[in-house]
Structure 1
Amino acid sequence: MGRFKTIAAVCTTLFTLVLAGCSGLPSSAQMPPSSEMDVEAYEIGVGDTIAVHVWRNPELNQTIVVRPDGFISMPLMGDVKADGKRPEELATEVGTALSEFIRTPEVSVMVTSPASKEFRSRLRITGQVASPQSVAFQPGMTVLDLVLIAGGVTDFAADGRAVLHRQVDGEYKSYGLNLAAILTEGDMKTNHTLQAGDVISVPRKQLFRGEL
């Protein structure tokens, strides 16, 4: 009887290893480090408050919220598309349009309230954690920081199969993340520095994987 138990245990172990190898997720060690990510130029979005300053023409100065349709209204010009443009691009466009009415206008645009980035500049953790969270991104935050903010993992968490989802080249890519090593072994190799938009998901233990 003991021999059959031993064989069954070996089979279960092999089955678990095969499933782990077939997950298809690259290791988080292969993802681009956040420190090497280029900082993208800010693009104006819906809900942003922008200040438009026209030098020597104070009557044209405006502090405006970008409307839901992506436009702002400017004196002499009417509606101007702002959504999706960098501040300097919008300034150039406004300056070109105003040149029909005033001589050599000098225009500057400043984003005073970047409301449209509120949800883009957040970190999220879901699944088997005590309190799933969506928190404001702060430079220097790590995987462990986010897990602790969420109150740690639950007893049902398959923390060895956690996944970190990160935007790379404009699309989300998923990387295997071993929270068990961080939380129970003190192994900080996968305690990566996070970047805005990262999402960590912690799956539930599964019987067929031999986790229960």
Structure 2
Amino acid sequence: MMQRYGFLVLLLPLWLAGCATHLPPATVHESQTTNIDNYEYLIGPGDTLNIFVWRNPEISGSFLVRPDGKITTSLVEDIEVSGKAPSALARDIETVLSKYIKDPIVTVSVSGFVGPFSEQVRVIGQATSPQAINYRKNMTLLDLMIEVGGLTEFAAGNRAKLIRVENGQQNQYDLEIADLIESGDISANVDLLPGDIVIIPESWF
């Protein structure tokens, strides 16, 4: 009897391995910014929106963008705001409010900038403080490395890669971060775009 149970115990890992399935890859959200000169801030979950409706202070106010990318105002529930520029959102709100108010004039400003995930720049691997960072217009690789505190002592900075989604395709570019930081080689500095991912591997020795 013990031999039979032992045989089943040996078979169990093989059976579990045969039943294992792979999760589908995460959806890739391409940034709407394809050139540093046409960058416009887009609203994201966690942002605080200050919405002012001219001559209607009772429906104006500050609203926190929920994790689902929506807000609720005193007149309209579940307005989709994530991924929109503040000016575009103002026009959308005017369209909605026109059902209740004659010729509404709306302005939208943002505080507590977070932005959508597709617009954030991420650093993973051998950075001192790997993290996701809010993109700023004209941000460069050097600006990013200052934000994350530079490289660790184990980093292979000149083997770093930049991953960027362009026209629905994932492209990879070589970076020479060690030359930029340690040697001051400004030619190694490059412009970044929202959604970029910088991967810094560990040195082999």
Same-fold call, TM > 0.5?
Answer: yes
Aligned to 1:76: 75
Contact 2:83 2:116 in 1 (8 A): no
Indicate how the Cα distance of structure 1 residues 114 and 182 shifts in structure 2: closer, same or farther if over 3 A, else same: closer
Give distance in 2, aligned partners of 1:107 and 1:171.
Answer: 37
1:119-134 matches, cutoff 5 A: 120-127=119-126, 131=128, 133-134=130-131
Q: Against the structure 1 CA distance between its residues 105 and 170, is the aligned structure 2 distance closer, same or farther, given a 3 Å change threshold?
A: same
Deviation per CA, 1:82-126, whole angstroms, max 9, x where unpaired?
A: 223222222222222222322211111212222335894445152
**Residue 189 in 1 paired to residue 187 in 2?**
yes
**Equivalent residues in 2 for 1:58-77, closer than 5 Å:** 58-77=57-76
Contact map agreement 1:126 1:202 (CA 8 A) in 2: yes
- 8 A Cα contact 1:144 1:182, kept in partner: no
Candidates 149, 159, 162, aligned match of 2:160: 162
The runs of 5 or more residues in structure 2 that have no matched partner are: 1-34
Whole-Å Cα distance in 1 between the matches of residues 156 and 97 of structure 2? 60
| Counterpart amino acid of residue 115 in structure 1 | V
Give the direction of change, closer, same or farther, for the CA distance of 1:82–1:149 in structure 2 (3 Å limit).
closer
Query: TM-score, normalization: structure 2?
Result: 0.60
Choose 1 or 2 for highest CA Rg: 1
2 CA distance for matches of 1:123 and 1:149? 14
Structure 1 spans left out of the alignment, 5+ residues:
1-35, 207-211
Percent identical across equivalent pairs?
Answer: 31
- State the 1:45 CA deviation: 1.8
Taking structure 1 as reference, are residues 168 and 102 closer, same or farther at Cα in structure 2, changes over 3 Å only?
A: same
Checking the alignment, whether the CA contact within 8 Å between 1:125 and 1:150 is kept in structure 2 is no
Q: What SS is found at the alignment partner of 1:164? A: strand
Question: What secondary structure, in the 3-state scheme, does the structure 2 residue paired with 1:116 have?
Answer: coil
Query: Aligned with 1:93: secondary structure?
Result: helix
Where 1:146 maps in the other structure, the secondary structure is helix
Tell me the amino acid that sits aligned with residue 78 of structure 1: E
